[in-house]
Amino acid sequence: MTDALVILGAGVMGTGIATLALVHGTPVTLVDTTEEALTAARRTIAKGQRMAQLMGAAPEGVKPAELTTSVDLAEALAARPVLAVIEAITEDAALKAEVLGRVAVAVKPGTPVVTNTSSIPIDELADAVARPEDLLGVHFMNPSYLISTVELARGRRTGDAAEQAAVRVLESWRRKVIVVSDAPGFVTSRLLHPMINNAARVVQEGTASVSEVDALMQGCLGHPTGPLRTADLIGIDNLVDSLRVLHERTGDESCRPCELLLSKVRDGHFGRKTGRGFYEYGDALS
């Protein structure tokens, strides 16, 4: 039986990573807490697979692998040999640590245990796992199946074997892997998230509109989509969670979420996945 990738969390990142693995022929077991979330995830993954085909992001001649789903973490980890486990749940350090701790004792030693955190230091999470040498961070961008570069964060206690095993998996999916040292936000979030926060603050202060900020960043500074449209793609709720983690761990005031971001979260306007954020969309992702 082919080893399966186990993904924890059927949200935006979990479904995107699942899509990436499946179109490259890697079986996936997707775990979440409710059948409703998993049913919605199957629809999202099917849409993602179609998009990957249309965009040339799926390799030719490779049959998409099988997707299975489960609401039972222990059962999912025991059902078949595990290639690696990727945790992609909410950006909550205590919750991530608890889940990663459960995973680490359930899989064979040497199995890469990966967190997709965008901001929490790996070594902080490593305190909760039985074998910290197997823990590392891989920060996928969204949508994972279209963006071909990934950031691999190696904690102080991450072992060479886990890093090498993770790189082999990622390269089998045709990803370019860049290994960075452990720090809050690593490289991408530490640069991108304060920039988005400042872009939202510019709108909040009335200096320019949402579309004007994005147009200037695209046309003058070469940002591919504009920071506020990027916020909608990330999920404004996820962005605020990440900014809070960065602010708490670095003290950088540019990481304190601005009131405009907080108001959108209070209103449930999380971005593309809810149909409304800085922009309005025809339908929510599901």
| pLDDT 10s digits, 113-162 | 999 999 999 999 999 999 999 999 999 998 999 999 999 999 999 999 99
When computed from its CA atoms, the radius of gyration of the chain, rounded to whole angstroms, is 18
CA 258/CA 256 separation, integer angstroms: 6
**For the chain, how long is the longest CA-to-CA vector?**
59
Nearest Cα neighbor of 18 from 31, 34, 1 is: 31
pLDDT digits (tens, 9 = 90+) for 201-239: 999 999 999 999 999 999 999 999 999 999 999 999 999
**193 assigned to active site:** no
pTM of the model: 0.92
Per the listing, tokens 């935006």 go with 12
* Structural domains of the chain ordered from first start: 4-181 (3.40.50.720), 188-274 (1.10.1040.10)
pLDDT digits (tens, 9 = 90+) for 165-184: 999 999 999 999 999 999 99
Say which of 139, 223, 247, 269 is annotated catalytic: 139
Residue 58 neighbours by CB distance under 10 Å: 23
